[in-house]
Amino acid sequence: MNYVANVRKPICIIHPQNDTRTPLKPVIKYMERLLELGKVFEAHIAPDMGHIILTTDDALKILLPAILFLKRYVR
């Protein structure tokens, strides 16, 4: 896994549970490596979602965690 050790700022990872284009497994491996290295990150797995945002509810599953993350970490 390249560049994980170079992470210096908090990361927000938001990923759909059922994404067939970008599978969840490599994302989980990346998060595990972040944990091993003591990096600051938040992870949000959007349940019952695929690669495409189809509904307002799906959009909220993606946008709400992103907004809350930005409110916490961006000054």
Chain centre to alpha carbon of residue 9: 14
Query: Rounded mean pLDDT of 45-67?
Result: 94
Q: pTM for the complete prediction?
A: 0.87
Q: Where are the domains of the chain?
A: 20-73
Distance of CA 23 to the CA centre of its chain: 12
Q: What is the mean pLDDT of the chain?
A: 95
Q: What is the pLDDT of residues 32-50, one digit of tens each?
A: 999 999 999 999 999 889 9
pLDDT at 50: 92
pLDDT band of 68, cuts 50, 70, 90: very high
pLDDT over 90 (residue 75): no
